[in-house]
Structure 1
Amino acid sequence: MAATTTMRIFLVQTAQGLTPSSGGYKANISLLRELRSFGHAAAQICYGFEHEVEHYAERAAAKGIDPDVTESTVPFVDFRGAKNNLLVKTFFDEYEIQHFVISRSLFKKDYPRKELWQETKDYIEVNDLRWREASDLVKALVNLYTASITEFRPTHVVFNDAMTMKIASLHPDRAKFKRVAVVHTAEQLPFGPYCSGLPGHCMSAEKEDVMLRDVDGIWVVSRAIHDYAIKYGNLETKFLNHSTMTYLDSKTGGIPERRRNENKEEVGMINPCPCKGLSILVALAKRLPHVNFVTWASWGSKPEHKELLQSLPNVKIEDTTSDTDKIWDRIKILLAPSVWYEAWGIVVTEAQLRGIPVIASEAGGLREAKLGLDYCIPVNLLTGEKDANGEYIIPDQDITPWESAIVELMTDKTKYRDLSSNTWRTASKWFSGLDTRAQEKWFLDMMEANDPKSEV
């Protein structure tokens, strides 16, 4: 049944948003698609490449939707004093979601990420009376975000970054929309041991703490993050699972196909990097030279991590792929040995919905993502302490339980088949119990809370 109130949801993605490389950003765009399927209007502003815009516009046209591609430029003077331009393309995709796409080419080639982060931090911390002191690029971005929000006329602005949180709080139409913060990592929160532990996350804890407590809603995607916010910040949040569309098959739009991969020969891991348990993977590869491992690089995989894995004869490294069937059709087991305080672990749920057993750590929300299934292994979590280079210090780990789990599942066919069947049944039951309209209801409740008619 359609909602009686039509909402207009405007999402801000600080990472590449057309073909997201992380679970959190995939979940964000899935939320827009789900809300759009319920009859609400949806838009996002994000970073992307020109060829992506062309690809998505072609897909829209193939489905009979006019993509209405337009192009504009926003001039600014960069930190070197050189004149430059933001290239912005707008279009409608096959779901009729409007996209405001800032070209990533500039930032990939000419504008170092650290410079952008520093300038963003300066904007967050600057007193509004000294707004003229912000960098020219930040001014261009702020004006672009502000104009895009004005053009779309949202009922809700959804974000996971402090810059947008400030822009939304100062917007001329502030009284006309709700501000919703989505928390995908503990590092986003302005308190606790992991505060600002990742580059670009929580740049100014004191300022962000004040702003965060003033938004209309804070959505966390696991009880682990909810409890973390209470424990370290005495901050109330709303726990909601990811939108159900996050887990549907991207090609068919239906329930994922069950895999029967007992005869496959590879153990897979996505995003091999230190906080995701790279040291555990390396130790396992050395202890189990007869086992084949395959990894898919992602946002955390640096060149030195890839070089380390390339030195191991039984480990293959594949590039990031948006076609996850290439992963699920290939692996026998998914390895998720994170030592980071995970928010949830979307890949764990995705694998389990396909009947693929997962050997995961108990880090943060991974225990929830495992759904009570076997092979959830304790680890020594990151403490938040960093080395001289500002990187998390990775604690030593006990490899034995990981080794035993892999050997058991790779060699005992009966054990594997039984676990695969139980994994598929458990994940399917969990998925069928989700409220497909949970986010919609929550967003509508925000509007009704300030509706004078609701107080009559």
Structure 2
Amino acid sequence: MASPQASQYNNVTEYDNSRSIEARAIKSRPLRLLFANPGLHAFGNNEGGIKSFRGLIVAMAAAGHECKVISIPAPVPVDGSDHSQWGRLCSTIQDGSAMPPISVDFTDDLPIVELRQGRGGVFEQIRRLLLIRKRFGALVRQRVQDWNPDWVVWENGAGNLRFALTLARGKLALSIASTLLLPFGPASSKEWFLSSSTSVYRRIPKIICASVFMQKYVHNYAGLSSVYQPPVSYGAPPFRRVGRFDGAVTMVNPCVAKGAKIFEALAKSFPDTRFRAIKTYMGVYSGLRSLPNVEISPSREDLDEALSDTSVLVVPSICGESGAMIVLDAMLRGVPVIVSNDGGLPEYRLGVNDCIEVTPLRFVRTWTGAPRAIQAPVRVDPWCTALQPLISDASIWEARASKSVEAAQSYLKKLSVSPLSDYLRT
């Protein structure tokens, strides 16, 4: 599926590295996969990136591969869950079969939550980063030495890639979720926290992309081949239709990078309409708190509950995302969606819902060395045009909701980890 975002990058060309991977039906021994991600337990189950990574672990284990996991525990459980619940939360298994065991190793308690939230001064954050790198890296190194996995699966942004390559003894499979942390291409934030150069990325033997957009991007701007493996952790049907025509216009993770200023402008444009901002790990953009028609809601693990009483989900990201699982989560539950054309988001709307052009966020360094986000002026009119019929005409809303469910259910039936399994075997 070609992404409308491609028009923003004139030299993006069609690229497909799969070569009919699904059709080759490679038969081989199960892979030994070591998944290393420090935030799998500490950040809870309702963050899209964490949910996607956990779901991939569960799906690869269900496909017969031997999977081990290394992470950092939460000092206080974020949502009361532990790894034994991953199958319930993320599993794509639909026949009720038993999950194979997944071995999980945790480091001792480390200040990863405080680091993520930016608490303390620069030197304190550096101290935390070094502590996490040392102890988490030591455990990964030990497990690689003891177990000799085929691949160490790592997420971009989870740590220095040169360090990760060393830990994995060169057998690194990297999942890339955002252009912001990449050192190449027009959507890169070269002034942000870049810890690895393009040359380091070219040493990574296996790269996993969650959208066609991202696969094209890394190929065209760095010459990197990769596999297109979309997220698989949407759960098993049937899904409850929780959308309501008279519900609230909702946004998840209402921070600047996710387009909170666009959401704020929309709420101001429709002062008599209910809006809801669901807070997650990035906090809430301050401009939303003072608006009388905006409700700030806490995040919830149960998506039926989180999206209940929602009329339209707005996903106005401007941070170069590979995609957003919440788009399909909403569509499966009968909630119409309006998305920006940021990164791979257009692919996730499945040609059913509106897609609005935005200017990507930029980051620059201040004199203190800290990053500062710069956003182009908000153009709210196209968003208002897309939203107006969905909140004023019940028949239009119902037709869109039904088409969303149909398209999302059809998409879900085609999901598989076969592309990734076969890619890692070659």
Q: Could you say whether these structures have the same fold, taking a TM-score greater than 0.5 normalized by the shorter chain as the test?
A: yes
Q: Give the direction of change, closer, same or farther, for the CA distance of 1:101–1:136 in structure 2 (3 Å limit).
A: closer
Note the alpha carbon deviations across 1:197-256, whole angstroms, 9 max, x for none.
696x53243xxx2232122211111122222223332333222222x2x111xxxxx125
Q: Quick one: distance in 2 between partners of 1:399 and 1:295?
A: 18
In structure 2, which of residues 11, 32, 57 is the aligned counterpart of residue 8 of structure 1?
A: 32
Deviation at 1:141, TM superposition (A): 3.5
Deviation at 1:164, TM superposition (A): 6.3
The one-letter code of the counterpart of 1:354 is: R
Counterpart of 2:22 in structure 1 is none
CA contact (8 A) 1:267 1:331 kept: yes
Deviation at 1:408, TM superposition (A): 1.0
Q: Quick one: distance in 2 between partners of 1:137 and 1:375?
A: 42
In structure 1, which of residues 280, 285, 291 is the aligned counterpart of residue 262 of structure 2?
A: 280
Q: Quick one: distance in 2 between partners of 1:348 and 1:136?
A: 36
Say if 2:421 is the partner of 1:421: no
Counterpart of 1:129 in structure 2 is none
Counterpart of 2:49 in structure 1 is 24
Q: Give the direction of change, closer, same or farther, for the CA distance of 1:181–1:59 in structure 2 (3 Å limit).
A: closer
Counterpart of 2:102 in structure 1 is 97
Q: Give the direction of change, closer, same or farther, for the CA distance of 1:347–1:415 in structure 2 (3 Å limit).
A: same
Deviation at 1:347, TM superposition (A): 0.7
In structure 1, which of residues 322, 325, 330 is the aligned counterpart of residue 301 of structure 2?
A: 322
Counterpart of 2:381 in structure 1 is 400
The one-letter code of the counterpart of 2:138 is: N
CA contact (8 A) 1:100 1:148 kept: no
Secondary structure in 2 aligned to 1:36?
helix
Secondary structure in 1 aligned to 2:302?
coil
Answer with 359-368 or 318-327: which moved more.
318-327
Q: Give the direction of change, closer, same or farther, for the CA distance of 1:40–1:116 in structure 2 (3 Å limit).
A: farther
Secondary structure in 1 aligned to 2:338?
strand
Counterpart of 1:361 in structure 2 is 340
Note the alpha carbon deviations across 1:408-445, whole angstroms, 9 max, x for none.
11110110111111111112222223334222222223
Q: Quick one: distance in 2 between partners of 1:366 and 1:380?
A: 14
In structure 2, which of residues 177, 181, 185 is the aligned counterpart of residue 184 of structure 1?
A: 177
Q: Which has the higher helix share?
A: 1
TM-score (norm 1): 0.75
Q: Which has the higher contact order (CA 8 A, sep 6+)?
A: 2
Note the alpha carbon deviations across 1:321-340, whole angstroms, 9 max, x for none.
22222222221110101122
Deviation at 1:97, TM superposition (A): 1.6
Q: Give the direction of change, closer, same or farther, for the CA distance of 1:163–1:424 in structure 2 (3 Å limit).
A: closer
Q: Quick one: distance in 1 between partners of 2:373 and 2:238?
A: 36
In structure 2, which of residues 205, 209, 213 is the aligned counterpart of residue 216 of structure 1?
A: 205
Note the alpha carbon deviations across 1:54-96, whole angstroms, 9 max, x for none.
8427769x9xxxxxxxxxxxxxxxxxxxxxxxxxxxxxx9762
Q: Quick one: distance in 2 between partners of 1:346 and 1:109?
A: 26
Q: Quick one: distance in 2 between partners of 1:153 and 1:5?
A: 15
Structure 2: gaps of 5 or more residues: 1-24, 89-97
Q: For residues 185-204 of structure 1, what are the structure 2 equivalents within 5 Å? A: 185-196=178-189, 201-204=193-196
Say if 2:345 is the partner of 1:345: no
Secondary structure in 1 aligned to 2:276?
strand
Structure 1: gaps of 5 or more residues: 63-92, 122-134, 249-253, 446-456
Secondary structure in 1 aligned to 2:319?
coil
TM-score (norm 2): 0.79
Secondary structure in 1 aligned to 2:244?
coil
Say if 2:241 is the partner of 1:259: yes
Secondary structure in 2 aligned to 1:352?
helix
Counterpart of 1:409 in structure 2 is 390
Counterpart of 2:6 in structure 1 is none
Counterpart of 2:292 in structure 1 is 313
Q: Quick one: distance in 2 between partners of 1:239 and 1:333?
A: 29
Q: Quick one: distance in 2 between partners of 1:168 and 1:260?
A: 42
Answer with 363-372 or 15-24: which moved more.
15-24
Q: Quick one: distance in 2 between partners of 1:120 and 1:29?
A: 24
The one-letter code of the counterpart of 2:281 is: W
Say if 2:60 is the partner of 1:35: yes
Q: Give the direction of change, closer, same or farther, for the CA distance of 1:115–1:97 in structure 2 (3 Å limit).
A: farther
Note the alpha carbon deviations across 1:102-139, whole angstroms, 9 max, x for none.
35564456985955874799xxxxxxxxxxxxx67644
The one-letter code of the counterpart of 2:104 is: H
Secondary structure in 2 aligned to 1:334?
strand
Counterpart of 1:147 in structure 2 is 142
CA contact (8 A) 1:359 1:375 kept: yes
Structure number with greater Rg is 1
Secondary structure in 1 aligned to 2:398?
helix
Percent identical pairs in the alignment equals 24
Q: Give the direction of change, closer, same or farther, for the CA distance of 1:374–1:386 in structure 2 (3 Å limit).
A: farther
Q: Quick one: distance in 2 between partners of 1:57 and 1:436?
A: 20
Deviation at 1:263, TM superposition (A): 4.0
Q: Give the direction of change, closer, same or farther, for the CA distance of 1:368–1:301 in structure 2 (3 Å limit).
A: same
CA contact (8 A) 1:258 1:424 kept: no
Answer with 112-121 or 156-165: which moved more.
112-121
The one-letter code of the counterpart of 2:212 is: R
Q: Give the direction of change, closer, same or farther, for the CA distance of 1:367–1:106 in structure 2 (3 Å limit).
A: closer
Counterpart of 1:241 in structure 2 is 230
Counterpart of 2:91 in structure 1 is none
The one-letter code of the counterpart of 2:226 is: T
Note the alpha carbon deviations across 1:1-24, whole angstroms, 9 max, x for none.
996412221111143446245322
